[in-house]
Structure 1
Amino acid sequence: MGKSNVELLYEWLDQTTNLIQQQRHEPYLDSLATTMEILFMQEIPENQDDITSHKLQQSITELDLTDFSKEDVRKATQLAMLKGMKDSTQQQHLMTPETVALLVAYFAEKVMLANEKVRIFDPAGGTANLLSTVLDRLQQPVEAFASEVDPTLIQLAVMNANLQEKQIEFFHQDSIRPFLLDPVDLVVADLPVGYYPDDVQAAQYELKADEGHSYAHHLFIEQGMNYTKPGGYMIFVVPDFLFDSDQSDKLHRYIQEYAHIVGVVRLPESVFKSEKNVKSILILQKKSQDSRPPKQPLLVQMPSLKNTNAMADILGQMNNWFQTYNKE
């Protein structure tokens, strides 16, 4: 068995990153960003020593990017990023699992069916893996935007988009602050979970905490709502405890006032390291003059992804549900 394209490209990315990392003594993810830039630009950055430059020059000639599909590139860079994230201690350096990203993309396609073109925004962009998975699934012309505050992640995201030839406009900023962005048809995000440190900024939000720090994941939902057109949709990957936490009453009231709950899909525990990390996908529609709630929201407990029969069954049920919903 020969190696797959994804394996070949991943090995190249990994070896080149290790080479840069040895010379620069910096985290793997930072060196990976440089590697992706070398691959995209096909040239070596100037600040290398001669031996490293020579080795890098050699690596470039060993690989022809045109041999790889965009999907190969996405999967190989994803594997390299995951490797870097295993060594990283920072909580935000965690990537949305592939299966979860594919489900978000599936829902995005379903709720955007009637749109001739789509404006989409991910306020928690990370390495842009979730957004690029969704972009692969949408058939219409798309304008895509993403925001990320972490400098390493945004560098990786920009190179990720370039290598996959995806047009994404990036904002390098704290996503709870205002954006120069017109409202979009669809917001997708794997919400960062935890407390948001800037109480002054949080005070602008309806979902601010009555005392102490506010929850970042609540503020992100409100920020998503702020940048969604009336009648537009939001698909959030949310912690399982979202509606059971100490500030959840406020969140519930907020959502009921401004949005329709289209669906809540609980992800299988097998996708996550432990039970307390389990997440769900929350699908909301921002209220508009002519929007109506679904007769019956989509409430699903996803089976283990290894159980192909149960998965096929659930996908069949969800397809039927969306057919009815899109006619309502």
Structure 2
Amino acid sequence: MSEDNEMQDYYDLVNQASTLLQKSLSSTYTDALAETLTNLADGKVYVENGAPDEKSVAELEKLYSQIKAVNLSQLQLKQAITVNIIQAQRLDKVEVNKLMTPDTIGLIASLIAFEILTASGQKKINLIDPTIGTGNLLIEFIDQLNLAGDFEINAAGIDNDETLVGLAKSFSEVMNLNLDAYHQDGIAEWEITDIDYAIADLPVGYYPVDDNAAKFETKADEGHSYAHHLLIEQTMNNLNDGGIGIFIVPSAIFQTDQAKKLSAWMVSNVYLQAVLDLPGNLFASKEAQKAIVVLQKHGGKAQQASNVLMGTIPGTDNVKEFEGFRNQVRDWASNNFKG
């Protein structure tokens, strides 16, 4: 059987199991998918208060044994589950800010992190995604780093959406990754400490809890503050000295009515090391265009890069141009992040 057929089989079987659980539990498809993945990781069907019923449990056990018989590599497994997540988001009509981050963005972010880690000689990192969502960005980021080098990665994620936290946790379990997942408002105080790196595709919009926003320097002078500004400040404040934050943000982040507050905070607290527009073909319109911003917290061996890495990242399908971009990142990292 071809690899594509095996991936299709895996997707179809997980879809069948999730659909069956959705009916049995009267839940959303996303919740059912999360429970399916948890059951697969645990090797048994979780039953609470008689749900799912005995008939459904028997059907699920049969499906799970078929799923376990499908032989996929780590990369294929992730791709198959990613398609299941896309299906879940379509069926549950998920809002735009909660849509899954494409793999290409995780790949590019991991390339940047890999070159910084290689230049600095760091092999062990504590990593967080403060807006973990489905977990796809963080898992793709970790998988690509593991493919590229020998790193010891401890990962954590935060999200205010309980369904998505459950999905991210179960996704990581099936992928055999150790992830601590926290269901909380990322702008409220964090329990987790000792963090070296952060990766986040930040939700864009206004943050509604003005009392929580009041303690941040990036808060708006009047009205609601931008959630993505607050999350950048919160994340960088929680990193270790010299810690790196890799953020996916709107390309126009420095051209909005609240940009002055963000820029003023950055000057005092972080080094702006890179601003790179993501490939345009990843977005439906110019208005939806996003960029990767790399920030480094003051302290430790951190210093302002002699040249801020700027420009537009070529599409990964353009092999020659993308290889040129990789070389540019390597030179930038080796010149500015020596251990």
- TM-score of the aligned structures, taking structure 1 as reference length: 0.93
Check whether the contact 2:219–2:261 (CA below 8 A) recurs between aligned residues. Answer: no
Structure 1 pair 213/319, CA: closer, same or farther in 2 (3 Å)?
same
Matches within 5 A, 1:140-155: 140-155=151-166
Amino acid aligned to 1:33: A
Percent sequence identity over aligned pairs: 30
Most deviating of 15-24 and 76-85 = 15-24
1:74, 1:164 within 8 Å by CA — same for their partners in 2? yes
The equivalent of 1:17 in structure 2 is 18
- Report the residue type matching 2:230 in the other structure: L
Quick one: distance in 2 between partners of 1:305 and 1:289?
A: 34
- SS of residue paired to 1:146: strand
Residues 98 and 203 in structure 2, CA contact (< 8 A), matched pair in contact too: no
- Relative to structure 1, the CA distance from residue 249 to residue 229 in structure 2 (aligned partners, 3 Å threshold; closer, same or farther) is same
What letter matches 1:126 in structure 2?
A: G
Q: Secondary structure at the match of 1:310?
A: helix
* Partner residue in 2 for 1:33: 34
Pick which of 300-309 and 249-258 moved more: 300-309
Report if the CA contact (8 A) 1:112-1:118 is conserved: no
For the 8 Å contact 1:29–1:81, the answer to whether it is kept is: yes
Corresponding residue to 1:118 among 114, 125, 133: 125
Judged with a 3 Å threshold, the aligned counterparts in structure 2 of structure 1 residues 280 and 61 are, in CA distance, closer, same or farther, namely same
1:275 and 2:286 aligned: yes
The equivalent position to 1:57 in structure 2, one of 41, 57, 61, is 61
CA distance in 2, matches of 1:187, 1:287: 15
Please say if residues 111 and 233 of structure 1, whose CA atoms lie closer than 8 Å, have aligned partners that are also in contact: no
User: Gapped runs of 5+ residues in structure 2?
Assistant: none
- 1:56, distance to aligned residue in structure 2 (A): 1.3
Superposed displacement of residue 66, structure 1: 8.0
Q: Secondary structure at the match of 1:237?
A: strand
**AA matched with 1:107:** I
The equivalent residue for 1:301 is: 312
SS at match of 2:60: helix
* Alignment correspondent of 1:97: 102
CA distance in 2, matches of 1:64, 1:289: 47
Task: State the aligned residue count.
Answer: 328
Q: In the alignment, which residue of structure 1 is the partner of 2:43?
A: 42
Decide whether the 8 Å contact of 1:44 with 1:56 is kept in 2.
yes
Cα distance change of structure 1 residues 30 and 289 upon mapping to structure 2, 3 Å threshold = closer
Matched, 1:81 2:85: yes
Please tell me whether residue 109 in structure 1 is matched to residue 114 in structure 2. yes
Is 1:215–2:226 an aligned residue pair? yes
Q: Please say which of residues 130-139 and 90-99 is displaced more in the overlay.
A: 130-139
- Change over 3 Å in CA distance of 1:89–1:131 after alignment to 2: closer
Shift in alpha-carbon separation, 1:23–1:289, aligned structure 2, 3 A: closer
Query: For the residues of structure 2 that align with 1:90 and 1:289, how far apart are their CA atoms?
Result: 40
Matched, 1:68 2:72: yes
Q: Give the structure-2-normalised TM-score.
A: 0.90
What code does the residue aligned with 2:2 have? G
Shift of 1:289: 5.7
Moved more, 47-56 or 79-88: 47-56
The alignment status of 1:192 with 2:203, answered yes or no, reads yes
Q: Which moved more, 1:21-30 or 1:90-99?
A: 21-30
What secondary structure, in the 3-state scheme, does the structure 1 residue paired with 2:246 have?
A: strand
Q: Is the 8 A contact 2:244 2:296 kept in 1?
A: yes
Structure 1 residues 143 and 89: alpha-carbon distance in aligned structure 2, compared to 1, 3 A threshold = closer
Task: Indicate the SS of the match to 2:293.
Answer: strand
Residues 100 and 133 in structure 2, CA contact (< 8 A), matched pair in contact too: yes
